[in-house]
Amino acid sequence: MDYLLDRYVFDFMPFDVSGETRKAIGQRALSVVMWADWLCKYQDPFKIFENHTSFLLGELLFFILCGLTFMHAYRHGNRYMFVWIGILIHALNVENLCYWIPDMDNFWQAQGILTLFGMRAPLYIILGIYHMFDYTAYVMVSRLRLPWWAEGPAVGLCAVMLDMPYDIMGIKEVWWTWHDTDPNIYDRMYWVPWNSYYFHASFACSFVWILNASRYYLVDVEYDWKKFPRELLCSFLAGMGAFWLGTIQFAVLYHPLHDMFGVHTEITTILFLATYIVIVITADRRNNNPAARTGNKYWFDELACAIALEYLFFMILVVIGNPVNVVSEGLHQTIGNCNDLQQVHTPTGMILQKKKYLCINNYDEKYFDFHCLPGGAVKMPEDGSPLEWYAICGTQYKNRAEYIAIIWGICILYGFIFYQIAAKSGTTPIVPVKRYQKVTVVRDKINSPETSRSTPSKKASSTTPDKKKTLTTPPIPRRIFSEPQSHKEFVAPSIPKYMTPRASSMIPETPSRTLRERRKISYKE
């Protein structure tokens, strides 16, 4: 840093800078660079393609899917855009809390092209995963016209259906790694913690519940652009509060059964999702809204395309992917002393324990090993300090046919469910918008007080009017208001088709007949 400042900054200044000042400026510049490096770290995409091809392709795919969700939100506008923004806030909040709270710091993502927050969160997580799962689920469920108490669980279930192939294939392709001994993620299926599905369902449901509740109390049914701060506040509350309401859902069912009575996480997750299913089926069976059964002729929109692309990608990946060639270099569970323990505090107040470091001689994570490294082992620092940044290698399928069966089965069955929601339910709800229009007050000259009070003089009635002052058909406006936002029926006197100046003096001061149609009125010379 000092060399760069001396070479490209201080040498071009018209005055000399002392050594102490240069050193102080250099330290501050270094702090700014370190902060920027922590905020966003760049990796060479060609290196990622060489070592971790499937991850790079998946990252690019979810960027495209996020773009499709944004196109849908932008096309529908108003509150759909606020939902999209709220999910972005939700993603930033959840990811940062998971990294900063030691009890929840139990997974490490692979390094993407751009990785945020100290090389912990690839950009496709913030702008990809959350929008693809939560926004797509939100819009799909909105077509069912469910009541508010069932809309949240339905969104949670749809988010799980979109997440399941991603979770199974992502961990097999080493797109991330889990903590080896954390009790909250110890019970797994295909190396996916059961709580991962519990997490996606509860947090997506919580987001929708808070969003609907805040809109109920803060805004009207109609979207009002003048209440933009309130609309944004609703999205902010949903994005920030979903984490905490989701944690409460964990504390209600999972933690008491698992932590106190030792119930397997598979049981708690199935019970939790089954409860959501019962709620949704009950609400759908009692749904008398005709808009929920109209069908949608143009159902294949941006979101349907996004679902198809995601499912097709994982159906192809499970067939042609070769995880044994994967080399994932980056942050993983720290390797250190096998005997060091760390406390895990649960929402119910219990204190559990897990190993603080990964023990490379005794770990149970069969989706990675070190066969691709020189000597087939990790080289530890000479001073014996813990190792955070190292490379791991993917492993071969033990039974690829089993993975093909579950991934293809999930994608086909869940794809059919989404087709039923998209094509056989209602259309995407149109948010009613409150419209403002400028009202111009137009007063009738015939009925105006000035005209009615004035009486034509004898001199005026005896003279013939000039041709330039000859009246033609007066324009009759569509709306005539006596006061803004108040309608008044236009009343005009009964006038013969051809009127002489003498006859004009015989017009009564008070009109006697309502004008029902336009008439041509002119003065005869």
Q: How far apart are CA 210 and CA 222, in angstroms?
A: 18
What pLDDT digit, counting tens, does each position of 91-106 carry?
Answer: 999 999 999 999 999 9
* Residue 201: band (very low, low, confident or very high) from pLDDT cuts 50, 70, 90: very high
| Other residues' Cβ atoms within 10 Å of the Cβ of residue 53 | 15
Q: 206, 204, 203, 180: which is closest to 193 by C-alpha?
A: 180
Q: How much is the pTM?
A: 0.81
- Does residue 499 contact residue 524 with C-beta atoms inside 8 Å? yes
- At 23 the pLDDT is 76
Rounded to whole angstroms, what are the CA distances from 2 to 7, 41, 210?
Answer: 8, 22, 51
* Residue 458: band (very low, low, confident or very high) from pLDDT cuts 50, 70, 90: very low
Q: What is the DSSP letter of 113?
A: S
Q: Helix-strand-coil percent breakdown of the chain, rounded to 5?
A: 55, 10, 35
- At 514 the pLDDT is 43
Given a cut of 70, is residue 34 above it in pLDDT? yes
What pLDDT digit, counting tens, does each position of 62-89 carry?
Answer: 999 999 999 999 999 999 999 999 999 9
- At 58 the pLDDT is 97
- Residue ranges per domain, the chain? 2-31, 43-333+348-381+388-424, 449-523
Q: Which amino acid is at 255?
A: H
Q: Which amino acid is at 437?
A: Q
What pLDDT digit, counting tens, does each position of 11-29 carry?
Answer: 767 777 777 777 787 788 8
Q: Coil, strand, or helix at residue 101?
A: coil
- At 445 the pLDDT is 53
- At 29 the pLDDT is 81
According to DSSP H, which parts of 432-521 are helical?
Answer: 449-453, 458-462, 501-504
* Residue 441: band (very low, low, confident or very high) from pLDDT cuts 50, 70, 90: low
User: Rounded mean pLDDT of 36-54?
Assistant: 94
Q: 138, 94, 91, 115: which is closest to 36 by C-alpha?
A: 115
What pLDDT digit, counting tens, does each position of 481-525 carry?
Answer: 444 444 444 444 444 444 444 444 444 444 444 444 444 444 444
Given a cut of 60, is residue 402 above it in pLDDT? yes
- At 388 the pLDDT is 94
Rounded to the nearest 10°, the torsion over CA 259, 250, 169, 62 is -150
What pLDDT digit, counting tens, does each position of 153-199 carry?
Answer: 999 999 999 999 999 999 999 999 999 999 999 999 999 999 999 99
Q: Cα 431 to the chain's mean position, in Å?
A: 17
Given a cut of 90, is residue 49 above it in pLDDT? yes
Q: How far apart are CA 393 and CA 366, in angstroms?
A: 11
Tokens (6 digits) for 344: 């895990």
According to DSSP H, which parts of 101-147 are helical?
Answer: 123-124, 130, 136-142
**Which among 310-324, 380-394, 464-478, 488-502 has the top mean pLDDT?**
310-324
Q: What is the mean pLDDT of the chain?
A: 86
User: Rounded mean pLDDT of 314-336?
Assistant: 96
User: Rounded mean pLDDT of 323-347?
Assistant: 94
Please report which helix (H) or strand (E) contains residue 382, including its range: none
Given a cut of 60, is residue 446 above it in pLDDT? no
| Other residues' Cβ atoms within 10 Å of the Cβ of residue 463 | 10
Given a cut of 70, is residue 243 above it in pLDDT? yes
- At 382 the pLDDT is 87
Q: 235, 276, 215: which is closest to 92 by C-alpha?
A: 235
According to DSSP H, which parts of 367-453 are helical?
Answer: 400-424, 449-453
